[in-house]
C-alpha cells in the first residue's frame, strides 16, 4: 500500500511538477490539534444524518478541488468578481460549502491556525460517505496546506467533462498521475448523487446532430429519461445517476453500467475499451469496489498537495489570508 502511494506521488511529480505527498501522514494533527479529526467527523455525521445528499455533494467537491491545482482547497475560495474556481460553470452546482465553514469555525475555536481547509475537505468527504457504514471507508492521510490561487478559467481544462470519450478521459486522469484503473474505480462515485438533464440530454435527442438517440444507451432507460428531461435546453431538472440507489454508496453503478444504463457519455465510454470494460466487470461486487475505491481515493487525495512551508493555513476557508 505504501509503495503504491509513493508511486502515485512520483507520477504526479513527473506530470505536473507539484507533489510532496510523501509528507502526508496518518494523524498529522496528533500533537497540534488532537481533536481535529473527531471534530470533522462529528459535525459531518450530524449534517449527513439530516441531509442524505451530503455524501455525494462533498465527494464531488473534493474531486473538483483535487483536479484543479491539486487538493489545496482552492475550490472553497470566494471571489468578489466571480473569477474563482467555484464560479466556473462545472462548479456552479456544487453545494454545502457551509458544512466545511462550520467545521473550520469549530477547529479555529479549538486550535487556531493549525488545521487546513484542504484536510477538512478531504476528511469530510470521507466521513460523509462513511456515515451509512459507521466506519471509515478509506484512510485519509493529512498534512495538506491551503493554496492561495483560485482561477475560474482553469476549471474547464482540468475537470473531466461528462461528454468525454475514453481516450480523453484517460488523458485527463493521466495528467493527474492516475491510471485507467483509477478512472474506472473513481467513476464509481456516480453511485450517489444526481445529474442535470443538460449534461446528457444530447444522448436522448441529438446525439450526432441528426435528432438521433445514442445507440449505446439502453432503449428502455432512454425512454424513462425522456419522461424526465423533455428538451435539450432543460438545465434545472435532475435525475439519479444510479437509478433507485442514488443515496446508497454501493457497487450498483457498475451493475447498471453493464446494462448500458450509464447516464453520461463519460460513463458509457468505460465500456468502449476492453481493459476498462474488464475492470467494470471486476467491480460489480461491493466488497471489491470498496477495496479498490479506498486505494484510488488515497491516490486522488495526494494530487499536487502543498505541504511543509508551501501554501498557508487559511483562517477562513473562503478567504485567502491577507
- What are the Cα distances from residue 226, in Å, to 39, 70, 201, 221? 44, 37, 8, 9
Between CA 18 and CA 140 the distance in angstroms is 19
Would you say 288 is a known binding-site residue? no
Give the SS3 label for residue 312. strand
Concatenated DSSP letters for 8-75?
Answer: HHHHHHHHHS---GGG-BTTTTTTT-TTHHHHHHHHHHHHHHH-TTHHHHHHHHHHHHHTTTSSSSGG
User: Which three cell numbers mark 99?
Assistant: 458544512
Would you say 240 is a known binding-site residue? no
- Residue 189: partners with Cβ closer than 8 Å, 6 or more residues away: 56, 59, 60, 63, 293
Between CA 64 and CA 142 the distance in angstroms is 18
Q: Report phi then psi at 129, rounded to 5.
A: -65, -35
Would you say 119 is a known binding-site residue? no
Would you say 160 is a known binding-site residue? yes
Asked about 64 being catalytic, the answer comes back as yes
Ramachandran bin of 150, using left for φ above 0, alpha for ψ from -120 to 50, beta for the remaining angles: beta
- Only one residue has cell 438533464, namely 197
Would you say 40 is a known binding-site residue? no
Between CA 9 and CA 70 the distance in angstroms is 12
Would you say 308 is a known binding-site residue? no
Would you say 65 is a known binding-site residue? yes
Would you say 85 is a known binding-site residue? yes
Contact between 81 and 134 (Cβ < 8 Å) = no
Would you say 180 is a known binding-site residue? no
Over its C-alpha atoms, the chain yields an Rg (Å, rounded) of: 19
Q: Which residues are catalytic?
A: 64
Q: Binding site for substrate: residue ranges? A: 160
Q: Binding site: residue ranges? A: 65, 68, 70, 72, 74, 85, 160, 190-191, 242, 250
Q: Binding site for heme b: residue ranges? A: 190
Amino acid at each position: 500500500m505504501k509503495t503504491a502511494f509513493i508511486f502515485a506521488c512520483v507520477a504526479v511529480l513527473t506530470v505536473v511538477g507539484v507533489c510532496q505527498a510523501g509528507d502526508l501522514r496518518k494523524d498529522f494533527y496528533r500533537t497540534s490539534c488532537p481533536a481535529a479529526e473527531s471534530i470533522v467527523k462529528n459535525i459531518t455525521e450530524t449534517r449527513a444524518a439530516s441531509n442524505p445528499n451530503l455524501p455525494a455533494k462533498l465527494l464531488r467537491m473534493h474531486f473538483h478541488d483535487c483536479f484543479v491545482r491539486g487538493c489545496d482547497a482552492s475550490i472553497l475560495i470566494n471571489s468578489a468578481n466571480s473569477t474563482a474556481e467555484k464560479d466556473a460553470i462545472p462548479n456552479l452546482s456544487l453545494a454545502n460549502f457551509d458544512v466545511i465553514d462550520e467545521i473550520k469555525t469549530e477547529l479555529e475555536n479549538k486550535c487556531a491556525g493549525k488545521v487546513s481547509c484542504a484536510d477538512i475537505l478531504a476528511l469530510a468527504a470521507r466521513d460523509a460517505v462513511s456515515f451509512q457504514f459507521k466506519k471509515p471507508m478509506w484512510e485519509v492521510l493529512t498534512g495538506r496546506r491551503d493554496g492561495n490561487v483560485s482561477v475560474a478559467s482553469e476549471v474547464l481544462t482540468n475537470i473531466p467533462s461528462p461528454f468525454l470519450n475514453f481516450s480523453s478521459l484517460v488523458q485527463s486522469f493521466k495528467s493527474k498521475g492516475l491510471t485507467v484503473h483509477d478512472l474506472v474505480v473513481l467513476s464509481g462515485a456516480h453511485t450517489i448523487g444526481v445529474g442535470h438533464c443538460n449534461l446528457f440530454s444530447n444522448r436522448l435527442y441529438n446525439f450526432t446532430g441528426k435528432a438521433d438517440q445514442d445507440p449505446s444507451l439502453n432503449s428502455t432507460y432512454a425512454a424513462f429519461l425522456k419522461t424526465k428531461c423533455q428538451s435539450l435546453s432543460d438545465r434545472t431538472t435532475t435525475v439519479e445517476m444510479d437509478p433507485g440507489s442514488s443515496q446508497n454508496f454501493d457497487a450498483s453503478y457498475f451493475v447498471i453500467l453493464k446494462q448500458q444504463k450509464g447516464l453520461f457519455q463519460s460513463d458509457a465510454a468505460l465500456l468502449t475499451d476492453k481493459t476498462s470494460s474488464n475492470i467494470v466487470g471486476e467491480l460489480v461486487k461491493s466488497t471489491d469496489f470498496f477495496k479498490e475505491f479506498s486505494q484510488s481515493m488515497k491516490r486522488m487525495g495526494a494530487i499536487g498537495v502543498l505541504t511543509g512551508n508551501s501554501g498557508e493555513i487559511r483562517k477562513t476557508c473562503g478567504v485567502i489570508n491577507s
